Amino acid sequence: MAAPPDRPFITMYRGDDDITTVTFGEFIQQARRQAASLLAEGAQPGDRVVLIMPQGIQMMATFAAAMLVGAIPTILAYPNFKIEPSKYRYGLGGVTRNLKARLTVIDEKFPDDLLSHVTVEDAKVVRAVEGVEAGVTSFRDVAATPDQIAFIQHSAGTTGLQKGVALAHSRVLTQLQHVAQSLELTQEDKIYSWLPLYHDMGLIVCFMLPLAAHLHVVMQSPTDWVVQPASMLSLISEYRCTLGWIPNFTLQFLARRVHPDDRKSFDLSSLRMLINCSEPVRAQSMEEFCAAYADCGLRPNVLQSSYAMAENVFAVTQSGRRGATDPQRIWVDSRTLKDRHVIEIAMRNSPGALCLVSSGRCLANNRVRILSADGQDLPNGHVGEILIQSDSLFTGYYNRPDLTAKAMQDGWYRSGDLGFVVDEELYVIGRKNDLIIVAGKNIYPHDIEEIVSSDPRIHDGRAVAFGLFNPDLGTEEIVVVAEVQDEREIENAFSIEQAARNAIVAELGVAVRAVYVRPPKWIVKSTAGKAARSTTREKLLREQPELSRAEAL
């Protein structure tokens, strides 16, 4: 069923004096004009079309246009101050080389010096000009088959070269149906988003879902939001948004960066779900946010959780379903977890008790398995690699059969994430390859990073921990890089380092080899805005060659 043409679809906010709203009818007409323009440029069914454009209505219409003509669109991150330049250039060249796109669509402000890093071979680079309504609307839509690729998503790119996740039309539509059912969507729902559309969280639930379910989405760019974080709460209040998806760090960011006096103007009573999709979900982050906005009409149990990834289109699990009111929490013995990878329930206030938050239960037709390091299925309450099977799984990594074969095992996708199941609830611990092993003890980097980030002098989410092998000790040692919030705090680097060391010993019972305090914007971030552990590690090793020499001995 088609959406009423006069129903609002996208409200794009770029500032109080720059707000644009298009209806479903207007969006469809704009997409058809863009489709005619793509055809005029030579786009054919099956061609890859790369979009490197600022977040906005024009880019969304061009994405839809490519699908209308049977092409396969993919969105890449637009250059901005949050992305490390050399990493961006490297990723841009590698991704476009792998895609072998027919067309690459950029905007008129795309930097000329970056064009040399766009691999086009015999393809065209087309500059889309804002406001120009090129082409005509009288062309025949290309009818796609269910198994044809609809579009290609790219991972957050926190490790290695980004992989293109190819998604068939049927898989995308199936996932959207599962998500809509799990959230019990109604026509009264309205979505808020600052999430980038080149990331699965933004593309699927903040573009594809409202497009398919005929919902209004209120959107701003991630760069605009990070400069003015309170704008998120202001827009939710003004437009009475009911749904939103966020990474975990957003909760503490809003709790700490918005002045208490400014919170008085917000009314968050319209929200029924604000879904934390960053694994692992942090109890402390949720508690800080709830405490900060308790007087703003924030209802109990609005904060929910989900385990999501591009390879499954989006969600695998969702909390707040089947009568549950909020994400389940359990308190476990931290020593047993770290030493034996087994869950031992502990009393809430007992020494060493660690609170873990569930990512919810599996969506319809989604299943998870927990696998040991030697490939054996593990029972409930044991930590291992999470494997996924569903009717939404990706077709494969585009043009990378080697990576696809490595990721799939008898129809199950190997996520590379560590987790466990208790009472049908999935708990995500962290990434398998990031695990640090110190004298036989398993240390999760995010535990260290959370401890270090609790220092108010450290920028939220800007701490990175990793292991370096020490041949003299025969084990790994922990190295931490932390980015200060204010450059003037560099003068207090020694104090920050000592505080971090003491806190890590007190909380985890392990000593740290080194803590490096760095100025703002030093840590390398992924295109999704997360701290990139592997790339930051490489940067530090280049800057501190004595560390790499010791590891190489």
pTM of the predicted structure, to 2 decimals: 0.84
The mean per-residue pLDDT over the stretch 116-137 comes to 63
pLDDT of residue 293: 97
> What pLDDT band is residue 159 in, cutting at 50, 70 and 90?
very low
Rounded CA separation 25/13 (Å): 20
Helix (H, G, I), strand (E, B) or coil at 344: coil
> What pLDDT band is residue 93 in, cutting at 50, 70 and 90?
confident
Please write the tens of the pLDDT for every residue from 247-258.
888 898 899 889
pLDDT of residue 322: 52
Has residue 160 got a pLDDT over 60?
no
Q: Which residues pair with 389 in a beta bridge?
A: 367
CATH 3.30.300.30, the chain: domain bounds: 435-552
Percent share of the chain, pLDDT over 90: 62
CATH 3.40.50.980, the chain: domain bounds: 8-223
Has residue 91 got a pLDDT over 90?
no
Is 19 within 8 Å of 25 (Cβ atoms)? no
Average per-residue pLDDT in the chain? Answer: 88
CATH topology of domain 8-223: Rossmann fold (3.40.50)
The mean per-residue pLDDT over the stretch 483-502 comes to 93
pLDDT of residue 247: 87
The mean per-residue pLDDT over the stretch 453-458 comes to 91
pLDDT of residue 535: 84
Residue 93 CB burial class (10 angstroms; 0-12, 13-18, ≥19): middle
> What pLDDT band is residue 170 in, cutting at 50, 70 and 90?
very high
Closest CA to 464 of 484, 476, 479, 485: 479
pLDDT of residue 124: 80
Has residue 102 got a pLDDT over 80?
yes
Residue owning tokens 């808020």: 192
Range in 128-142, 210-224, 437-451 the model is least confident about: 128-142
The mean per-residue pLDDT over the stretch 355-375 comes to 95
Is 240 within 8 Å of 270 (Cβ atoms)? yes
Please write the tens of the pLDDT for every residue from 138-154.
667 787 899 999 999 98
Rounded CA separation 212/283 (Å): 33
Range in 90-94, 118-122, 353-357, 475-479 the model is least confident about: 118-122
Please write the tens of the pLDDT for every residue from 187-221.
999 999 999 999 899 999 999 999 999 999 999 99
Closest CA to 77 of 199, 174, 164: 199
pLDDT of residue 137: 56
Token output for 40 = 């005029």
Q: Which CATH class is domain 435-552?
A: alpha beta
Highest mean pLDDT range out of 128-142, 303-317, 423-437?
303-317
Rounded CA separation 424/421 (Å): 6
> What pLDDT band is residue 83 in, cutting at 50, 70 and 90?
low
In Å, what is the CA distance from 427 to each residue of 287, 358, 422, 530?
18, 5, 8, 21
Please write the tens of the pLDDT for every residue from 331-360.
999 889 888 899 999 999 898 899 999 999
pLDDT of residue 434: 82
Rounded CA separation 162/149 (Å): 18
Is 12 within 8 Å of 220 (Cβ atoms)? yes
Q: What is the residue type of 114? A: L
Range in 155-169, 205-219, 343-357, 438-452 the model is least confident about: 155-169
Q: Which residues pair with 125 in a beta bridge?
A: 104
Please write the tens of the pLDDT for every residue from 299-328.
989 999 999 999 999 999 999 865 557 899
Residue owning tokens 């500032």: 15
